[in-house]
Copies of this chain bind each other. A is one copy, B any other.
Amino acid sequence: MSVRSLCLAILSFGDATGYEIRKESTEGRFSYFEDASFGSIYPALARLESEGLVTVREEPQAGKPARKVYSITEAGRSEFINYLCEPQARDTFKSPFLLIALNAEQLPPDVIRRALERRKAQVREELQQLMDTDKECSHPGSNWTRSYGIACMNCTLDYLEEHGEALIKIAEDAAKPVSDAAE
């Protein structure tokens, strides 16, 4: 998914500035689709405007640069719907944590412990964020994806909490000096 489509996706849920789009894409609900930085969002928005898929409205503010609030047009909306109807790429899961787990035997137990805690904290955080969002927000798509996310993350967290110790043990056993074998 390109930054272009990401902008259309976010704008289809309501007006936003480039700054807000970045926030949504790195933190909010849309972080499941694509991350993007300012350097890619601002040019994408400018191009989208020149193509007539979005419109801008400047809101001057005292002190700060004027906010440029973007709105999706009908043309933009239909381009986005068409995009969604095309075959999409597969879902992907990229896990530096699993790479560490895979190599647990070669790593110091502390590194495993840290990675595990970090991963657990991350899942808890994302779970919390999902639970905090509007419980019954009347938008069925949001409710469905929210429940899906909660279910998957609870499962992941459970697994990490139940089997985390076993992973640490792998590293500890491998780290033991040979002399221990005599005991």
If over half of A's interface residues share one DSSP class (helix, strand or loop), that class is named, otherwise mixed; here it is: helix
Closest residue on chain B to residue A33 by CB atoms: B99
Q: How far is the CB of A81 from chain B (nearest CB, A)?
A: 6
Residues of B within 8 A of A64 (CB): none
Residues of B within 8 A of A163 (CB): 144, 147-148
Most chain B beta-carbon contacts within 10 A, residue among A29, A85, A98, A174: A98
Copies in the complex: 2
Scan residues 16-39 of chain A and give those whose CB is less than 8 A from a CB of chain B: 29, 32-35
Per-residue interface assignment for chain A, residues 74 to 97, with 1 indicating a CB less than 8 Å from any chain B CB and 0 otherwise:
000000010011001111111111
Residues of B within 8 A of A142 (CB): 102
Scan residues 124-149 of chain A and give those whose CB is less than 8 A from a CB of chain B: 139-142, 144-145, 147-149
In the complex, the answer to whether B170 meets A144 with C-beta atoms within 8 Å is: yes
Instruction: Tell me, in angstroms, the Cα distance from A90 to B31 when the chains sit together.
Output: 12
Q: How far is the CB of A86 from chain B (nearest CB, A)?
A: 9
Is A11 interfacial (CB 8 A cutoff)? Answer: no
| 6 nearest CB pairs, A to B | A88-B96, A155-B155, A91-B95, A140-B170, A102-B141, A104-B141
18 contacts between A and B (CB under 8 A): A1-B94, A1-B96, A9-B103, A33-B95, A34-B94, A84-B103, A84-B106, A85-B111, A88-B97, A88-B100, A88-B115, A92-B93, A98-B149, A101-B141, A105-B141, A140-B173, A144-B170, A152-B155
